[in-house]
Amino acid sequence: MRILLTGSSGWLGSALAPRLRGLGHEVIGLDPVPSLETQVPGSIADRDLVMRIVRENGIEAIIHSGALHKPNIEHYENSDFVATNLQGTVNLLDAAVASDVPRFIFTSTTSLMISQAIRAGFQGGARKAAWLTEDMSPEPRNIYGQTKLSAEHLCRLYHVEHRLSVVVLRTARFFPEADDMAHAIEQSDANTKANELLFRRLTVEDAAEAHIAALEKAPQLGFDLFIVSAPTPFRPQDCAELIADAPVVVARCFPDYPRLYARKGWTMFSSIDRVYDPSRARQRLGFVCKTSFADVLAALEAEV
């Protein structure tokens, strides 16, 4: 397929583009930042550019991973988020409809699922961890989450009105930057990210594979939305104990973890406040992340 990939210079785009080419697809990268994976430097907010790229290149699928992200909030106005995350998405959806592109994959975020009320519960001593699924009604707490949720709604609208096949992937954390979890300050970045694989993280390689799975399955699904995160060992009935004493729950699931962590000098979060449930992606998309917390422990065991 001839695929337009937005955000091609980003962390995900840089992992996804070569994987797509390896599968025999032709990839045209669009991003404001030049890179080896970006053939067309430019913004998705440039409507004429987007329409022309899709029309002139015979695009057969669009993977829309380009966006302004949460860290950009400090440096950009709300209007910039609307122009990129909302108008940019409209431009791509309109281009898909105008050129009869049959597949549209949208990279969304689990961040939009954390409302002010949920955040206040975390900070104020919630009685149990939040078990988060696609069935909840999000109330995003910032302009990033709000524009991503609104873009999801636009994707659904274009499916309803134009029968465009769209898959929305709410990806958990996979960024390479150091984590910002307040209770992880005393931990190394590797330690924190390993812990997060239990409930709110995946590797960028798995994020790329999820998009490939969505690309293949989109025509059968019509429209669907999935949380994409490493498989969690936890269950909803663990949520109260996860808030009170997370290490006990983790040790119950992985009896060897205390020994391996002690040898490495790592620690577990004392409390886990949320769990993203990726089971719908397994059931309907047929996708499960390859890397999990168990793989971290296996790597620790293999260290000399």
Do 43 and 49 contact (CB within 8 A), yes or no?
yes
Positive/negative CA dihedral, 210, 213, 219, 224: negative
* 3 state SS of 211: helix
- Residue 4, H or E segment: strand 2-6
Summarised one tens digit per residue, pLDDT across range 151-163 is 999 999 999 999 9
* 3 state SS of 13: helix
pLDDT at residue number 114: 84
Neighbours of 204 (CB within 10 A): 17
Q: Classify residue 265 as left (phi > 0), alpha (psi -120 to 50) or beta.
A: left
Maximal C-alpha separation, the chain = 59
Please state, in angstroms and rounded to a whole number, the distance separating the CA atoms of residues 189 and 262.
16
Summarised one tens digit per residue, pLDDT across range 158-211 is 999 999 999 999 999 999 887 655 444 578 999 999 999 999 999 999 999 999
Range of the domain at 155: 2-302
Please state, in angstroms and rounded to a whole number, the distance separating the CA atoms of residues 239 and 189.
25
Neighbours of 171 (CB within 10 A): 25
Nearest residue to 3 (alpha-carbon basis) of 11, 23, 152: 23
**Two structure tokens written together for 22:** 């390896």
pLDDT at residue number 167: 98
Do 291 and 202 contact (CB within 8 A), yes or no?
yes
**In sequence order, which ranges of 113-175 are alpha helices (DSSP H)?**
116-123, 143-162
The total number of structural domains in the chain stands at: 1
Do 146 and 140 contact (CB within 8 A), yes or no?
yes
Positive/negative CA dihedral, 191, 14, 180, 148: negative
The CATH number linked to 142 is 3.40.50.720
pLDDT at residue number 182: 44
- Residue 103, H or E segment: strand 103-109
Question: Which residues in the chain show pLDDT less than 50?
Answer: 182-184
Nearest residue to 67 (alpha-carbon basis) of 92, 37, 48: 92
Do 134 and 141 contact (CB within 8 A), yes or no?
no
